[in-house]
């Protein structure tokens, strides 16, 4: 127990990002228990996969803080990656607090808000790099770090209860190519003042050493493009603007013109120009012009490094891109990592390219990618600078957070806490204390509906995906006689040995018999009849298919 | 064109294994075109994943050879991995040819045939190691190689058209621990005689160097188990008997008793004992006894290294295993590779273990796994021994086969051909010529039904998985009036903004209106009415959910 149940306290609550990758949503609260003032740090999404059919976007359920929206002072975004800002447009209507971001991030958020028709309503405040935000008891200084996107900000959040360093995503890149190197002095100075808690990125805690510098990648890209005589396509995350710039330099150094392919490439270059980048670069050429140039004079910069089926590179590989074609002797450089879960899609894409005689070069073959997250040596360096009293690892799967907490102990940090989403952790000189557990679910964007993950629609669809479906309808009169039907439709079921017609007949017979054998007192009770039929058909299906389809019964009542 | 369209020729046809991982089925044919005598080499399966819901096992469609079963002389199995022999029981009834295998493989095939009730029908011939099989024009010598399972056999297939080396799966392990080292002399001798074509494993062609030896893994396991003070569980492929033996030695060297957990562990140890292995090992203890021993005295040998939900390790991690529990201070060693596509399942399992304070050590952390397939240096060595006239890379994805063909060219092989499943390739001194393309589909085991992949059931289920389903039924009389219904059921759809009831009402109204607006001439035509309703409901659904559910309509006719 805390010394006093009503004294002001500082709490940290991750609602997303602790225990899974992506969809970060962090809360800081200060005040008397139950009457805290809150800020949100980051508001991100993650993406669905084959295990979430029909759900492409997943975000943290903000219910806990939405219920306290009156006490929400602001939403501060550390940087512009989807897992840190992708949920702003969808969730802002439930939160309605001003949004703070540095120029590059603000540009991209504004773009999204315009798409969503929210640009007029949302108060979006652009904060300069290394700027300051005052939100009630929270005095926030931005500290420029290095990452794989322009303007990654760590937050020094000063409160009456002490100073918190919320790192956001970071690495230590001595040559980030865009932006300044990590502001070690600011971190060291904050460490000297005394950091109560550091809430820190855990992504690469299982990897020894350092992530490596963008400069090394640039040099290798220049070399590698120089070795090619056909067309070159570089697939990279559009948000990695330093990488895009390196690709542009690799093109220019080798007498190639750059053609952007894919919507988010154009979007990100727009954001980059907004902050003054690419001012000196030769203008990009469009796809039609690129198609007319000699092969050795073109470099395509493409989206789709993860094998996303609708992204540029997949469409090019499938021969479905209107203007961009690759042919034998051309080369695709995957200047990106393989995100776990995407292996099969990426390999399928690479197989398709290889089939066409296109050479594929990845990060395993040549040094054309570095991670944006800190490996163990960088984490050690950060702990040496910040020397926090408490370590709170976030931004990782469970095994990452636990390994990170262990590393922090090795770095002599007095207290550590590897939180789960929904843990409310009070931070004080006594350490980190779990004081509550609050709801921290997920929301699925399911078609146009934003619905709680536990709503069950996806679970039902997965059942359909495994078992297929049988629909059966019959009209029954008040005397309990089948007047029309049963008729049955099958969907998603393979043709069984006896054939489809015989299978349907078997199911209809089961339904018919169930009604005929119905006890007298159920006559006229459509629900009860439906239930009888349901059970009969459910019993009849497994012998036919060796599996349990979803069975849907409609009994139409007749006089 | 060949010199003569009726002269005897030797052809090779992969029906599985070329262009995807797993499910190997290779045909060799000899004779005049269209009247060849055939042998099958290997008959394997692959496993479904989240992209094939409801389909756990996938195998090559043997239709082409099944239609020629009268000319099929035999089925020769190179080794006992599922992707080489897992389809024997399911497909044998369509092929009905004798099966040839060495003792370890034969033991496991017999086991499967007994399960399938086929043991009495199938002629299963046990061939000794380095034995010989005569099948019409095919004189087959087995050559013991090394791999990750006992008794991996390469086949030297002599025919009137020349000698083929079919490698099966192999690596060059100087210390395989079980079985002899690669029979380099036999390979060199065959090379000196002159090998027309080598049909060869491509799995690791993208990896430089060598796969490494089981001996190194054994030493590391002994060391690593010695460092532990809690329970140790080693997860490995049960078929990697040398690895199991190493785990047993690591236990014995450290005063631990071994407990097998998981059905295939017991099955494989049975097969291993059949060929005389584990004769000197201390007896295994059962799960109940293991639970009573001090933690430092136990070593569990578990299935489930790929995160398979029903395998031993997943059940242990979920706390659902009856006798085996792990607790803080215990350690799980993943002595296995991460098979692409399984990352998320494996990481979820490791997260679960980490949450419970169980340490997780994998092949990235310590040297506790080596691949069973040849890396580039081993492939170079094999080409140096065999010096084939033609290289036919198989057993890999498209990008592997293409890279392998390139490597063979570097090794001065005169001809190369990276086949696709279904390619019929004539092999002669002139090289490899594509002479035909034959059907080479896939069969899905969908519940109890073995059905062609293109049958459409899975495609329908995926549609259900994305969109959910709407069932709607109504009774319509001959005058075209709706007499009962419409009633609609939803399944797999999230609750829309207006609520479920309003959504159902909207759909029913659309159906009702469609019938009311029906042209007079359609009265009594149930199919036409169904079609009208279908189109109306399909139009009404997307505005509600922003997606297209499957719509199922049943119109019940009434007088």
* CB-CB under 8 Å, B444 with A471: no
* CB-CB under 8 Å, A397 with B464: no
The whole-chain average pLDDT of chain B stands at 95
Report the Cα–Cα distance between both ends of chain A, in Å, rounded: 68
Distance in angstroms (rounded) separating the CA atoms of residues A171 and A374:
4
- Model confidence pLDDT, tens digit, residues B109-145: 999 999 999 999 999 999 999 999 999 999 999 999 9
Tokens at A436, concatenated: 């509550």
- Model confidence pLDDT, tens digit, residues B182-192: 889 999 999 99
Distance in angstroms (rounded) separating the CA atoms of residues B192 and A11:
77
Q: Cis check for the bond before A486: say yes or no (omega within 30 of 0).
A: yes
pLDDT at A281 (0 to 100): 81
Comparing CB atoms, the residue among B340, B399, B484 nearest residue A360 is: B399
What phi and psi values does residue A63 have, to the nearest 5 degrees?
A: -50, -45
Q: Is A72 helix (H, G, I), strand (E, B) or coil?
A: strand
* CB-CB under 8 Å, B398 with A491: no
Burial call B320-334: b when 16+ CB within 10 Å, e when fewer: ebeebebeeebbbbb
Distance in angstroms (rounded) separating the CA atoms of residues B108 and B110:
5
pLDDT class of B13 with cuts at 50, 70, 90: very high
Question: Cβ distance A558 to A476 under 8 Å?
Answer: yes
Q: Cis check for the bond before B486: say yes or no (omega within 30 of 0).
A: yes
Q: Give the pairing of strands B298-302 and B257-261.
A: parallel
Q: Is A427 helix (H, G, I), strand (E, B) or coil?
A: strand
Report the Cα–Cα distance between both ends of chain B, in Å, rounded: 68
Comparing CB atoms, the residue among B351, B398, B455 nearest residue A494 is: B455
CB atoms inside a 10 Å sphere around CB A240? 26
- Answer yes or no: is pLDDT of B20 > 80: no
Q: Give the pairing of strands A197-201 and A162-166.
A: parallel
Write out chain B residues lying below 8 Å of A472, CB-based: 554
Domains (ranges, CATH) in chain A? 9-209+371-448 (3.60.15.10), 216-361 (3.40.50.10710), 457-558 (3.10.20.580)
Write out chain B residues lying below 8 Å of A419, CB-based: none
* CB-CB under 8 Å, A446 with B354: no
* CB-CB under 8 Å, B494 with A447: yes
Comparing CB atoms, the residue among A53, A360, A493 nearest residue B462 is: A53
* CB-CB under 8 Å, A554 with B483: no
Distance in angstroms (rounded) separating the CA atoms of residues B310 and B39:
36
Chain B nearest-CA distance from A79, in A, is 26
pLDDT at A50 (0 to 100): 87
pLDDT at B1 (0 to 100): 44
Whole-number percent of chain B with pLDDT over 90: 90
- Answer yes or no: is pLDDT of B2 > 50: no
Comparing CB atoms, the residue among B340, B360, B449 nearest residue A347 is: B340
Interface A–B counts its CB contacts (< 8 A) at: 217
What phi and psi values does residue A362 have, to the nearest 5 degrees?
A: -120, -175
Comparing CB atoms, the residue among A344, A554, A556 nearest residue B340 is: A344
Comparing CB atoms, the residue among B462, B464, B473 nearest residue A554 is: B473
CB atoms inside a 10 Å sphere around CB A111? 16
- Model confidence pLDDT, tens digit, residues B306-345: 999 999 999 999 999 999 999 999 999 999 999 888 998 9
Distance in angstroms (rounded) separating the CA atoms of residues B233 and B258:
10
Choose among B557, B443, B547, B386: nearest CA to B64. B443
Question: Cβ distance A249 to A222 under 8 Å?
Answer: yes
pLDDT at A485 (0 to 100): 85
Chain B nearest-CA distance from A166, in A, is 24
Identify the closest residue of chain A to B454 by CA–CA distance. Answer: A494
Write out chain A residues lying below 8 Å of B360, CB-based: 399
- What's the number of CA atoms in the CB half-sphere (13 Å) around residue B196? 20
Q: Which of B341, B352, B401, B464 to mutate to test the interface with A (most CBs of A within 10 A)?
A: B464
The residue count of chain A comes to 559
Write out chain A residues lying below 8 Å of B477, CB-based: none
Distance in angstroms (rounded) separating the CA atoms of residues A155 and A187:
10
Chain A nearest-CA distance from B54, in A, is 4
SS3 percent helix, strand, coil of chain A, rounded to 5, is 35, 30, 40
> Could you list the pLDDT tens digit for every one of the 559 residues in chain A?
445 567 999 999 999 988 776 799 999 999 999 999 999 999 999 999 888 999 999 999 999 999 999 999 999 999 999 999 999 999 999 999 999 999 999 999 999 999 999 999 999 999 999 999 999 999 999 999 999 999 999 999 999 999 999 999 999 999 999 888 888 999 999 999 999 999 999 999 999 999 999 999 999 999 999 999 999 999 999 999 999 999 999 999 999 999 999 999 999 999 999 999 998 888 999 999 999 999 999 999 999 999 999 999 999 999 999 999 999 999 999 999 998 889 989 999 999 999 999 999 999 999 999 999 999 999 999 999 999 999 999 999 999 999 999 999 999 999 999 999 999 999 999 999 999 999 999 999 999 999 999 889 999 999 999 999 999 999 999 988 999 989 999 999 999 999 999 999 999 999 999 999 988 888 888 899 999 999 999 999 999 999 999 999 999 999 8
pLDDT class of B180 with cuts at 50, 70, 90: confident
State the DSSP H helix or E strand holding residue B143, giving kind and residue range, or none if neither.
strand B138-144
Question: Cβ distance A253 to A226 under 8 Å?
Answer: yes
Residue bearing tokens 């293409």: B402
Question: Cβ distance B12 to B199 under 8 Å?
Answer: yes
Comparing CB atoms, the residue among B351, B447, B473 nearest residue A545 is: B447
Distance in angstroms (rounded) separating the CA atoms of residues A443 and A421:
14
pTM of the model: 0.92
Distance in angstroms (rounded) separating the CA atoms of residues B172 and B384:
13
Identify the closest residue of chain A to B54 by CA–CA distance. Answer: A466
Distance in angstroms (rounded) separating the CA atoms of residues A230 and A253:
16
Q: Report residue A106 CA to chain centroid gap.
A: 19
Distance in angstroms (rounded) separating the CA atoms of residues A34 and A11:
11
SS3 percent helix, strand, coil of chain B, rounded to 5, is 35, 30, 40
- Answer yes or no: is pLDDT of B434 > 90: yes
**Planar angle of CA B89, A504, B444, nearest 5 degrees:** 30
Q: Which of A464, A476, A530, A547 to mutate to test the interface with B (most CBs of B within 10 A)?
A: A464
Write out chain B residues lying below 8 Å of A340, CB-based: 343-344, 347
Chain A nearest-CA distance from B81, in A, is 22
């Amino acid at each position: 127990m805390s010394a006093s149940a009503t004294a002001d306290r500082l709490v940290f609550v991750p609602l997303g990002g602790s225990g899974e990758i992506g969809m970060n949503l962090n809360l800081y609260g200060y005040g008397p228990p139950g009457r805290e003032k809150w800020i949100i740090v980051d508001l991100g999404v993650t993406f669905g996969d084959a295990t979430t059919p029909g759900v492409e976007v997943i975000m943290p359920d903000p219910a806990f803080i939405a219920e306290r929206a009156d006490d929400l002072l602001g939403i501060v975004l550390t940087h512009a990656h989807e897992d840190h800002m992708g949920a702003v447009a969808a969730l802002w209507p439930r939160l309605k607090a001003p949004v703070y971001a540095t120029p590059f991030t603000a540009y991209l958020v504004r773009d999204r808000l315009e798409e969503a028709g929210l640009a007029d309503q949302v108060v979006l405040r652009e904060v300069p790099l290394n700027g300051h935000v005052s939100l009630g008891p929270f005095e926030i200084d931005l500290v420029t770090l290095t990452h794989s996107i322009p303007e990654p900000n760590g937050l020094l959040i000063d409160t009456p209860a002490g100073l918190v360093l919320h790192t956001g995503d970071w690495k230590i890149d001595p040559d980030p190519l865009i932006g300044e190197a990590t502001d070690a002095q600011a971190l060291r100075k904050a460490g000297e003042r005394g950091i109560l808690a550091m809430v820190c990125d855990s992504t690469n805690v299982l990897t020894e050493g350092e992530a490596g510098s963008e400069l090394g990648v640039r040099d290798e890209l220049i070399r590698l493009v120089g070795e090619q005589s056909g067309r070159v396509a570089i697939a990279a995350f559009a948000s990695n603007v330093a990488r895009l710039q390196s690709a542009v330099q690799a093109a220019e150094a080798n007498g190639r013109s750059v053609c952007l392919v894919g919507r988010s490439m154009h979007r990100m270059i727009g954001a980059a120009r907004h902050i003054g980048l690419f001012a000196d670069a030769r203008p990009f050429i469009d796809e039609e012009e690129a198609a007319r140039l000699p092969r050795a004079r073109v470099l395509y910069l493409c989206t789709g490094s993860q094998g996303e089926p609708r992204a540029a590179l997949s469409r090019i590989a499938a021969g479905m891109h209107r203007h961009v074609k690759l042919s034998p002797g051309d080369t695709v450089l995957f200047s990106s990592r393989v995100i776990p879960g995407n292996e099969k899609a990426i390999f399928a894409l690479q197989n398709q390219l290889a089939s066409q005689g296109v050479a594929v070069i990845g990060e395993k073959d040549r040094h054309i990618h570095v991670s944006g997250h800190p490996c163990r040596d960088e984490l050690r360096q950060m702990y040496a600078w910040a020397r926090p009293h408490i370590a709170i690892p976030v931004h990782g799967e469970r095994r990452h957070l636990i390994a990170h907490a262990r590393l922090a102990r090795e770095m002599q940090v007095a207290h550590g806490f590897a939180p789960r989403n929904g843990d409310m952790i009070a931070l004080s000189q006594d350490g980190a204390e779990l004081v509550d557990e609050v709801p921290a679910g997920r929301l699925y964007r399911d078609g146009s509906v934003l619905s709680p993950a536990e709503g069950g629609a996806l679970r039902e669809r997965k059942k359909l995906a495994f078992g297929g479906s049988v629909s059966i309808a019959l009209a029954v009169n008040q005397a309990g006689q089948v007047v029309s039907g049963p008729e049955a439709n099958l969907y998603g079921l393979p043709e069984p040995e006896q054939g489809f017609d015989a299978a349907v007949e078997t199911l209809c017979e089961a339904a018919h018999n169930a009604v005929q054998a119905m006890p007298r007192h159920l006559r006229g009770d459509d629900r009860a009849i439906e239930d009888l039929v349901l059970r009969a058909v459910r019993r009849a299906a497994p012998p036919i298919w060796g599996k349990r389809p979803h069975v849907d019964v409609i009994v139409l009542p007749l006089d």
